[in-house]
Structure 1
């Protein structure tokens, strides 16, 4: 199997991947900023508008592993092209939506397209770059995601200042069209000859979907929520038992037996849940508690993303010489301090100090991303690169969905203090990520052996 793509095809493949990463990053960050405007325009409660994010995240998280398995069987390029098409159609439908049910349906369609694209990122990286440049590729991806996350809140806030929230979704269409021209440069990746496991697909969707729904409905319907969580747990037990005897299971439990990969997955889930919980709650805190404008919110969320964009490539280079657990532990600690700083500061604190706390949180998140992704991708065998990419994306999106659901739970628990409680959810999840990395540091299989 060739070690990466030859130049110049590699450069065109990287450019295509960067454009799609731009689309995915802008979708996540701009919609967060638009949630208060959507709630006001469609006359829905803050807790209910969270479903604009939850519906999308839930769709992505329950379909990532099935689409990853499909991509291993039919090829990366076919799934990539279909994902772009579905995502673009969903974005158009979101822009044209005139009611909350229509918007939710469109977000589900958009989530299907996102899932088809996200499940490929890790596998594409592993097959685009040669082994000696994979760390650089991961850092470049992190830099691009961070840079677009800087622009996302700013662009979103600007759009809301001069126009209306439907344009938040319409922006994606030209970028999707541009990406079509680069599909032919992408690698196909190794093909799997194993049959698609439909039972594993169903169990996986039940497990992830009911877990998120159960968490979100825990306050309004506790009995139904506990029932959902119980069924999700049973589905997980059956799924793991079914997958353990398979050579290349759709749900990659074989990869979770690799110690560095298992720690990377756990740390990733907590870290992304922390960041998403904070990013969902912070716009409400800045607008309704501190009294800032949409432009101010864009600047503050952009400060977080600046920290992430600057530190992600630095941490990626440091990961070649230092243990991942140390770098990720430092990152989780910085995120914890940054979010606590936002909540504990007096409400009349200067704008610059609030921005500094957001910058610190972003620095911490950037210190986590590149080293942890490197550990997850390099810890898996190359022939399972598609599954590793799907696992990476599933962990990230499940973490984001978990953070969003827990923040919605915080708003349901207290409408008045929901924003503060949501930020504190982010703090607790960051502390959990820190604790995992402390345990990871003393693991008998150090990350430096990757």
Structure 2
């Protein structure tokens, strides 16, 4: 137990590092733009570049971690991140800062790609849900704290210290990392071509969608997206012939994992669509001040911080399909209530609806992640964890892109985003309930008479 606690601290600090480093720079963007003499539109690339590299690198790094060791991969990521952060103090141009952010994203992706696999190795199977819930709690807390922490740092120090504020988490994770388990390595050589193709697939699709939303040539944007989809088709066909592909086609053949990924993707799109659009709706439609809007939107992650650990513990005892179905039913009702709010709502009118919605999504997401990781073969835990993280990041990015598109159409600051999110939550709920079917939980290679997982 003492070693397990130290290992849990190592993974928790590493998770906090990734989340804080991704969210905290947003408050520093105006200061960076002023000091580096660039416009506001250009400086946003500091955030989007980090997110894009993170999505592209997660699955390739999870496959590499299986070959070189999960513990080694995790600590290499922390070390790369720490070194890259020190270089922020030498950034006197946007180009150099973007190179540093790419390096930070690579380090963060290396750590995040194997964190769920390490959680499974740390906890016994009967407590896996609680372990993943604790990790989710750290992620939610980091996302909630990051903007406030960034503001406090900027009040007393120049903007490079905003990036440096995550370094203590990396150092703590490295120190505690001696207690991390190191599962058996896979004997197969690393598929470098498959890793490059997988990264290109995500990079082109997401980059093309972002390009289209920001008003670039529709033809060029569509060509970029189609190129990414074509590479994705090649990735899937190539992976179907391999025992342990970089893009985990073998895991997605399992109906329970495929349904969990589709449902999780819809849930993350729904949550990001609502959270981003609510800021515009509250300020433009209901006359809330920015601080009032931030306070009421913050009720959602605060509720999830409370619900996620309980939901994770329940998933060790009750089917994730049932918990997720109940959670998304609550989410659908809450999103309908948000969509049809009174004409002049006060703080509490919005807050209890946001809290109810956060409760429903919290009851869904932790058990969903536990089912994906717990349903994978033990020697494929790292790709399963990478799949969970990739689903979350791609879903959030898609949600942000959807909000931008709705705003461009002039319907992004009304009830439409909430109703779109409601439809996506309904799909997630159907996917969750479908997992209660024993045939769905059975591995694809199981023979008649064998018990389901």
CA contact (8 A) 2:403 2:412 kept: no
Mapped partners of 1:322, 1:120: distance in 2: 26
Change (3 A) 1:380 1:144: same
Shift of 1:438: 4.5
Aligned to 1:433: 428
1:146 aligns with 2:110: no
Shift of 1:77: 2.3
User: Counterparts of 1:196-211 in structure 2 under 5 Å?
Assistant: 196-211=190-205
Shift of 1:154: 4.3
How many pairs does the alignment contain? 441
Aligned to 1:78: 72
Change (3 A) 1:73 1:446: closer
Shift of 1:78: 2.2
Could you say what the CA RMSD is over the residues aligned between the two structures, in angstroms? 3.3
Q: Deviations over 1:37-61 (max 9, x none)?
A: 878996425xx76644432221111
1:364 aligns with 2:370: no
Unaligned runs of 5+ in 2: 443-450
Shift of 1:127: 0.9
1:170 aligns with 2:164: yes
Aligned to 1:325: 321
Mean Cα deviation higher: 436-445 or 304-313: 436-445
Shift of 1:131: 1.9
CA contact (8 A) 1:304 1:359 kept: yes
CA contact (8 A) 1:122 1:385 kept: yes
Change (3 A) 1:417 1:280: closer
CA contact (8 A) 2:74 2:115 kept: no
Change (3 A) 1:17 1:313: same
CA contact (8 A) 2:25 2:162 kept: yes
1:388 aligns with 2:393: no
TM-score calculated relative to the size of structure 1: 0.85
User: Counterparts of 1:20-31 in structure 2 under 5 Å?
Assistant: 20-31=14-25
Mapped partners of 1:93, 1:136: distance in 2: 37
Aligned to 2:263: 267
Change (3 A) 1:356 1:159: farther
Change (3 A) 1:191 1:125: same
Aligned to 2:189: 195
Mapped partners of 2:57, 2:112: distance in 1: 10
User: Counterparts of 1:263-412 in structure 2 under 5 Å?
Assistant: 263-286=259-282, 290=286, 292=288, 295-342=291-338, 344-346=340-342, 348-412=344-408
TM-score calculated relative to the size of structure 2: 0.85
Mapped partners of 1:359, 1:168: distance in 2: 30
Mapped partners of 1:189, 1:260: distance in 2: 25
Aligned to 2:59: 65
Aligned to 1:444: 439
Q: Deviations over 1:319-376 (max 9, x none)?
A: 2343322322332343344455445435742122222222222212211122111110
Secondary structure of the corresponding residue to residue 251 of structure 1 = coil
Shift of 1:189: 1.9
Change (3 A) 1:189 1:425: farther
Mapped partners of 2:330, 2:153: distance in 1: 31
1:115 aligns with 2:109: yes
Mapped partners of 1:338, 1:431: distance in 2: 12
CA contact (8 A) 1:153 1:298 kept: no
Structure 2 counterpart of 1:186, from 163, 180, 194:
180
Change (3 A) 1:38 1:299: farther
Secondary structure of the corresponding residue to residue 217 of structure 1 = helix
Change (3 A) 1:192 1:155: same
Mean Cα deviation higher: 256-265 or 216-225: 216-225
Structure 1 counterpart of 2:249, from 235, 246, 253:
253
Q: Deviations over 1:65-103 (max 9, x none)?
A: 111111111112222222113323444556776665555
